[in-house]
Amino acid sequence: MITDPVQVDKVSGQTTTGHEWDGIRELNTPLPRWWLWIFYATIAFSFVYWIFYPAWPLASSYTSGVLGATNRTAVLADIAFNNQVRSEMAAGLEKASLTQIAGDPKLLALALAQGKAAFANNCTPCHGSGGQGQKGYPNLTAGRWLWGGNLDQIQTTITHGIRAPDDADTHTSAMPAFGKDGILKPEEIREVASYVRTLDGLEPEQGVDVAAGKKVFADNCVACHGEEGKGNIDMGSANLTTKVWLYGNDLNDLVYTITNARNSTMPAWGKRLDPETIKSLAVYVHSLGGGQ
């Protein structure tokens, strides 16, 4: 940058800045007056803003402004407004019974939409995005239910959970750990596991006495699982004759189940969700294909 005599441009009448860079000069045109005053106005506005809104950080807090507005209160206000709008629409859900909801097209559409959203928020970590579950997490679409698949039973299961520690009415089933507690010997467990596979039409293990397994089954399992292994919804014992297996139908899986029992849990959602949401969830889960 070299100093340069100030010149006047022929066309615009402006002076140059008085510096020259490799022969390049710049006109010293002043900022437009309208722009400058708008700029001053924004500065003045900032002083007003500091008074009314959160602005400056202090050592361990901040200036919160006269209005006391925070993002948190704004979000809470939005949520409260949303709940209020929802409550107007959901008033019908509150009054209707589950069968009435399933029969009324408008209520059904609302319940399905609400259930779908609530399901995605609460249920998908265990039951999967479409309710299909995986090994160890129930498949809600298949039509095999441990605790019943009609609307009321689904609602009860959602409300009280399974082995939920904070709910007195929770579903509890107690399959004994036949191997761990020493009720059955390992060979007997393998025999009954093979027999259970034949109940489902699967191949038993080679070289295992399936007839002996059937006797073990009759002595130990029929009390909960029924004469033909069809299960008992009141007790939460599984139907062993369907193609749907919660913990797998591999020989090793069956042996493990019989040896150690399975005591998985489901939260009691009645403690966390309001009744209308649970109604919507029940209707939605019932509509996933396996409802009865």
Residues that bind other proteins (CB under 8 A): 7, 9-11, 16, 20, 23, 25, 102, 105, 108-109, 112, 128-132, 139, 141-144, 239, 242-244, 283, 286-291
Report in angstroms how near the CB of residue 55 gets to other proteins at its nearest: 29
Q: What is the DSSP string of 118-161?
A: HHHHHTHHHH-TTS--BTTB--SSSS--SS--SHHHHHHHHHH-
Report in angstroms how near the CB of residue 204 gets to other proteins at its nearest: 19
Nearest to 27 by CA among 45, 47, 43, 4: 4
Report in angstroms how near the CB of residue 129 gets to other proteins at its nearest: 4
Nearest to 148 by CA among 45, 51, 225, 239: 239
- Measured from the CB atom, is 74 or 109 closer to other proteins? 109
CB 241 within 8 A of CB 249: no
Report in angstroms how near the CB of residue 250 gets to other proteins at its nearest: 16
Nearest to 282 by CA among 156, 132, 143, 138: 156
Report in angstroms how near the CB of residue 207 gets to other proteins at its nearest: 28
User: What is the C-alpha separation between 2 and 25, in angstroms, rounded?
Assistant: 10
- Measured from the CB atom, is 185 or 243 closer to other proteins? 243
Report in angstroms how near the CB of residue 242 gets to other proteins at its nearest: 4
- Measured from the CB atom, is 23 or 30 closer to other proteins? 23
- Measured from the CB atom, is 106 or 272 closer to other proteins? 106
User: What is the C-alpha separation between 16 and 6, in angstroms, rounded?
Assistant: 5
- Measured from the CB atom, is 112 or 199 closer to other proteins? 112
Amino acid at 149: G
- Measured from the CB atom, is 201 or 207 closer to other proteins? 201
End-to-end CA distance of the chain: 86
Determine how many CB atoms are found less than 10 A away from the CB of residue 180: 11
